[in-house]
Structure 1
Amino acid sequence: MQDNSERSLASMDLTSLQPGDAVIADSNRVNAESIAWCLKAYGGFRNVTAVSTAAELIQTIRSQRPQIVLVCEKLIVKALRDVFSELAVRLGETRVAVFGDGLTDRQMDLIVNNRVTGILSREDAMKKISEQLSQISGGQTVLSEQLAARVQLSRDGHFRCSASTQMQKLTDRQWDVLLKIAEGRRVSEVAEALAISEKAVESHKYRIMRAVGATDRVDLCRWAIREGLIEA
């Protein structure tokens, strides 16, 4: 007897997927191309683009209309907010999945607090991953069983980290401010980038520092590096 996921996959019309339907972003291009081949072979995707940098990913999103984007651990934290900003402006319907194996608890918090609809594992067989991506493209939210100890998937399709961290206290806007400050941007630059006032940036910065236990801007940057949110 088929389980629910198998019945759902069997009922999907994979031939209806349009060209430009998938983008695979992995810092190792060989891995990206391997996954792309498997999607064509197992998942019914007819046109899959493999990229290996955040810049390539953003450019590909701008030039195509992918149904789904799969991003590896090394790229997702760096590119996440830019990716979702691009999708919100240009596409709206593109769904994003990530590999979660190498993410820290802090990074996982960042992922689940955004519009990610699939958290997958490299421990699964490639055929399984291809099937999961097909399910995500069909409108489902998917969590690999390999990551069930770290992430919960509620009945209404929302992810929640099992580990409780300071990040769950931050709003989406505070996330934007945190990442830009951690990159070394001045308050005026953050305000201009986010189209908010400098006073609002300062207010968000104060609340962020209090939430994560940072004493000043430098301490906040060190915390972000230590937690794997930005590269040193």
Structure 2
Amino acid sequence: MNAPSSRIAIVDGHPLFVEGLTQKIVATGEMEVVFTAADSDRGLRLALEHQPEIVLINMEISGRGAFTLADELARRLPIARIVFLSDDPTDVFLDEALRLNAAGVLLTNDPTDRLMACLRTICHGGVAFSADVMERLEYQPDTKKYVVKVADYLASLTGRQTTVLRHLVRGDSVKEVSKTMSLSERAIESHKYRIMRRLGIHDRVELARYAIREGLALP
């Protein structure tokens, strides 16, 4: 039997889902799971150690956040292709995933055969999206990239700003966000100011209501 050809990592905090997905990937005989991690900090450390070809990252991952992790991997482990997992991504999350040149966005509730088909496509150098995600995208021939059909103005936020916003909405203090994201308190304050200015919001209560309405609140 030929050895698995593609090395995959899973960074996701849902153990039952990770266990099931790992079993299905291994059962294909075409791919292997080199590690799993329940948070983004451990995910980064193990990715640099094991150097997987494909990293599956849940958009809801704890720690520094999915997009910050993806950005760091792009800089420090450029061989890795990033695939985001989500149960129902908002437009702003899809937009950020595409801006990070994700190889795919897959829904965690997709049928197993569909997930495996998408992973095979990605393993062979292609891009793949769940059917419900694809309906919200359009392909631009001039740039040869997919974009969100109707991206709201939350999409103007950077991935790091989105992560800061989600932590603030959860009720984390600037000091707590600073520690979680390994950034200075001054940097977090700066991000908070820019987020509120960009969204035209003037206080934290209004910011929280807006983020919850847009589906950006952390669980």
- Name the TM-score class by shorter chain: 0.7 to 0.9
Given the superposition, is the C-alpha separation of residues 16 and 34 from structure 1 closer, same or farther in structure 2, using an over 3 Å criterion?
closer
1:231 aligns to 2:215 (yes or no): no
In the TM superposition, what whole-angstrom CA distance separates every residue of 1:35-86 from its partner, at most 9, and x where no partner exists?
Answer: 1121122261134423333333233223210111112343289622331243
For 2:45 and 2:88, the matched residues in 1 are separated by: 25
Give the number of the structure whose alpha-carbon radius of gyration is greater: 1
- Identity among equivalent positions (%) equals 24
The Cα shift of 1:92 comes to 0.8
8 Å contact from structure 2 (residues 88, 107) kept in 1: no
Q: In structure 2, how many angstroms separate the alpha carbons of the residues matched to 1:51 and 1:77? A: 11
Partner deviation per Cα, 1:84-131 (whole Å, 9 max, x = no partner): 243134211211112344223333333333232101234543233123
Deviations 1:152-199 (A, max 9, x none): 3444552322333012334x4xx434533646437xx69xx679x97x
Residues 7-46 of structure 1 aligned to structure 2 (within 5 Å): 17=5, 21-42=7-28, 44-46=30-32
- Is 1:142 aligned to 2:128, yes or no? yes
In structure 1, the partner of 2:163 is 179
Asked if the contact 1:141–1:157 (Cα under 8 Å) also holds between the matched residues in 2, the reply is no
AA partner of residue 214 (structure 1): I
Give me the whole-angstrom Cα distance separating, in 1, the residues matched to 2:108 and 2:163.
27
The one-letter amino acid of 1:161's match is V
Residues 221, 60 of structure 1: alpha-carbon distance in 2 compared, 3 angstrom cutoff: farther
Q: SS in structure 2 opposite 1:75? A: coil
Task: State the 1:216 CA deviation.
Answer: 3.8
Structure 1 stretches of 4+ with a deviation exceeding 6 A read: none
Establish whether residue 163 from structure 1 lines up as the match of residue 146 from structure 2: no
Q: Could you say which structure has the higher strand fraction?
A: 2
* Paired residues, number: 208
2-side partners of 1:83 and 1:90: how far apart?
10
Shift of 1:226: 4.5
Distance 1:88 1:36, change over 3 A: same
Name the CA shift for 1:185/1:226 in 2 (closer, same or farther; >3 Å): farther
Instruction: Give 5+ residue unaligned stretches, structure 1.
Output: 1-13
Output the CA distance in 1 between the equivalents of 2:27 and 2:140: 31
1:55-204 superposed matches below 5 A: 55-75=41-61, 79-155=65-141, 156-170=143-157, 172=158, 175-177=159-161, 179-180=163-164, 182=168, 184-185=173-174, 202=190
Letter in 2 for 1:164: A
TM-score (normalised: structure 1): 0.69
Q: For 1:44-55, list aligned pairs within 5 A.
A: 44-55=30-41
Separation in structure 2 between the aligned mates of residue 150 and residue 108 of structure 1, nearest angstrom? 9
**Cα deviation, residue 218, structure 1:** 5.6
